[in-house]
Structure 1
Amino acid sequence: MERKNFLKTLFLGAVSAPAVLAACSKDEADTVTPTSSGTTTGGTTSGSCTVAPTETEGPFPTKVPSSYVRSDITDDRTGYKLTATLTITNSNNSCAALAGALVDIWHCDAEGNYSEYGGTGMQSTNYQSVHFLRGRQTTNASGQVTFTSIFPGWYSGRATHIHVHVYSATGTSLKVTQIAFPEGTGTAVAAVNGYAKGLSGYTSNAQDNVFSDGVAQELATVTGSTTAGFQLNITFAVPA
């Protein structure tokens, strides 16, 4: 089964597979009625902070995250350089920087493939024995981690994205979410142009089954160029 068809079944197969649908849609607990302090679509408000939306880990989560403590996650993957800086704040402490948190990220390569998986209908190329574009870092005193990677490619049914899982220092899961990329003329997505695949058939944020209800809390700031490389910055508030 192609990825595109798989993703469609998450919606069209709700009667026959409700558990799958629930697992791949936004967490209902993250959608609340707006209050006087304000709520952004897809997130919950805690004091003056808006908690990052909860998203699915997807079908390709890192199998043993603790094995990939590293800042450079490129391995042998080729593509335009991407330096990603994530800032993690504590929504239970007025969005103060959260030091000592474990942050995992993972994403597909320029061709739209994930490491640690493959050889199946969802991904024909077998990358089960390699671990590219996956890594873990611990936030510093400013709540920041930085990863060196490549600009993600795309695959049918999904917009360009990066998966994020934040844990406490003791390993308690605090938030699973995703990073969305700005789209349109003048953006990095347009400049990269889907690498060799182009953008024909690309799924935009507005049509993406994860991001279609809004990306206000997940949309990164991305600057740079294909020659100099790209810099990504985003802040996520998590309940710690």
Structure 2
Amino acid sequence: MGLGSIIALPVVISSCSKDNDTADDGSGGSCPVSPSETKGPFPIHTPAQYVRASIIGDRTGVALLMNLTVLDQSNGCTPLQDVYVDVWQCDKDGLYSQYSTQTSANYLRGRQTTNGNGQVSFISIFPGWYPGRAPHIHVEILTTGGRSLLVTQIAFPVSTYTAVYATTGYNGAPDTSNTQDSIFSDSLSRNMADSVTGNNTDGYTLTKTIIVA
């Protein structure tokens, strides 16, 4: 499922492009704050215990490297250093650790602190889906004091998740597309990953810039 090659994926995050970061969102403003989305129902219970770059645990699936950049709108959309980035997602079967039948498991959850360029990386697998939701990754940005700056979600291009879900082990096409997803209904273009490159054999690399107020 591509997991054997995930360590070979380059952890490369491009430096911030001011032209891209300040692109107009159509609302008359520039450098728009990323969409605020629901935190639950499956946030990390104790995120401080899961400071790690690899969040795979014992799960299997198509490899995914997430490269995230956090920018501070209140400071000219410059990179935001030394803030926590928490991520959590479901496995290929649509299950979340720490909840329901998975209360004793802690897979696909992690925390990293942004570097001087506002960047973090996580090694994961491509998420599956569950009824009523399109494929997604949860992200929360917090100060080191624990104050939440933003909770958001990342969506995937249809062509990418269609290719992944056609592989053995995943559950086929999701029952809810990006455009049918109620969470993304008013913000899909800004929830969408900036890019997702790769293939089912070698894995995928996701890049996303997240902007906080």
Taking structure 1 as the reference length, what is the TM-score of the superposition? Answer: 0.75
Structure 2: which amino acid aligns with 1:89?
L
* CA distance in structure 2 between the aligned counterparts of 1:138 and 1:196, rounded to whole angstroms: 31
Residue 232, structure 1, aligned to residue 206, structure 2: yes
Residue 69, structure 1, aligned to residue 44, structure 2: no
> Which residue of 1 is the match for residue 5 of structure 2?
none
Q: How many residues align?
A: 188
Matches within 5 A, 1:66-215: 66-118=48-100, 126-183=101-158, 187-193=159-165, 195-199=169-173, 202-215=175-188
Secondary structure at the counterpart of residue 188 of structure 2:
coil
Larger Rg: 1
* CA distance in structure 2 between the aligned counterparts of 1:174 and 1:112, rounded to whole angstroms: 27
- Alpha-carbon deviations, 1:151-173, whole Å to 9, x = none? 00001000000000000232211
* CA distance in structure 2 between the aligned counterparts of 1:81 and 1:39, rounded to whole angstroms: 31
Percent identity between the two aligned chains: 48
Secondary structure at the counterpart of residue 162 of structure 2:
helix
Structure 2: which amino acid aligns with 1:82?
L
Structure 2: which amino acid aligns with 1:155?
Y
* CA distance in structure 2 between the aligned counterparts of 1:138 and 1:171, rounded to whole angstroms: 12
* CA distance in structure 2 between the aligned counterparts of 1:217 and 1:225, rounded to whole angstroms: 24
* CA distance in structure 1 between the aligned counterparts of 2:175 and 2:126, rounded to whole angstroms: 15
Q: CA RMSD in A?
A: 1.7
* CA distance in structure 2 between the aligned counterparts of 1:71 and 1:223, rounded to whole angstroms: 20
* CA distance in structure 1 between the aligned counterparts of 2:99 and 2:26, rounded to whole angstroms: 34
- Alpha-carbon deviations, 1:21-59, whole Å to 9, x = none? xxxxxxxxxxxxxxxx95457xx95xx320011000121
**CA 1:38/1:59 → structure 2, altered by over 3 Å: closer, same or farther?**
same
> Which residue of 2 is the match for residue 3 of structure 1?
none
- Alpha-carbon deviations, 1:76-129, whole Å to 9, x = none? 0000110001100001011100010100000000000000001xxxxxxx1001
* CA distance in structure 1 between the aligned counterparts of 2:81 and 2:39, rounded to whole angstroms: 23
Structure 2: which amino acid aligns with 1:213?
D
The answer as to whether partners of 2:150 and 2:212 remain within 8 angstroms in 1 is yes
Deviation at 1:213, TM superposition (A): 1.7
* CA distance in structure 1 between the aligned counterparts of 2:64 and 2:139, rounded to whole angstroms: 16
The answer as to whether partners of 1:40 and 1:50 remain within 8 angstroms in 2 is no
**CA 1:39/1:188 → structure 2, altered by over 3 Å: closer, same or farther?**
closer
> Which residue of 1 is the match for residue 12 of structure 2?
none
Secondary structure at the counterpart of residue 216 of structure 1:
helix
> Which residue of 2 is the match for residue 217 of structure 1?
190
Deviation at 1:202, TM superposition (A): 2.1
Deviation at 1:214, TM superposition (A): 3.0
